[in-house]
Amino acid sequence: MTSTSIIPPFTHDTAMKKVRMAEDLWNSRNPEKVVQAYSKDSYWRNREQRFQGHTAIKQFLTEKWSQELEYRLIKQLWAFHHDHIAVRFIYEWHDTSGQWFRSSGNELWAFDTEGRMFWRDASINNERITATERRFLWPLGPRPADHPGLSSFFPPETPALF
């Protein structure tokens, strides 16, 4: 199954699978592979940047992963409706000086009838952390199936999401 084999309208189950597939793709840190999940004219807002199309997406991801080293990401379904999905996410990485960061945010996604994302809007915040504060310690690549999801990293009084 590929990320484009799941097409709208989404059910809870298919939206959950779509989010996990996106997480696994991004954890590959392979721009050529990741861009295949997006329409050729996909529009992105990432923080203050806005760009469109496969060439711009590949360039963005190549630069991102050359600066955000040892990148590990967890995404979580927040909401879905027909051809839209909202997620929250956290990822950890370090820069070339060795400073670790935890980045968190929300994304809004819209999909075409072939299951490719044609619109992505991301709001992201960075927090400096120490290496000992890291929580995402699996080997580089997709998060292992038995590794906790995002809800497990919130305090007990925080309502669990899905």
Domain boundaries defined on the chain? 3-153
Does residue 101 contact residue 129 with C-beta atoms inside 8 Å?
A: yes
Quote the DSSP letter at residue 47.
T
pLDDT string in tens for the chain (162-residue length):
676 789 999 999 999 999 999 999 999 999 999 999 999 999 999 999 999 999 999 999 999 999 999 999 999 999 999 999 999 999 999 999 999 999 999 999 999 999 999 999 999 999 999 999 999 999 999 999 999 998 887 665 555 554
Predicted TM-score (pTM) of the model is 0.93
Buried residues in 123-158 as b, exposed as e (16+ CB within 10 A): eeeeeeeeeeeeebeeeeebbeeeeebbeeeeeeee
| Per CATH, domain 3-153 is 3.10.450.50 | yes
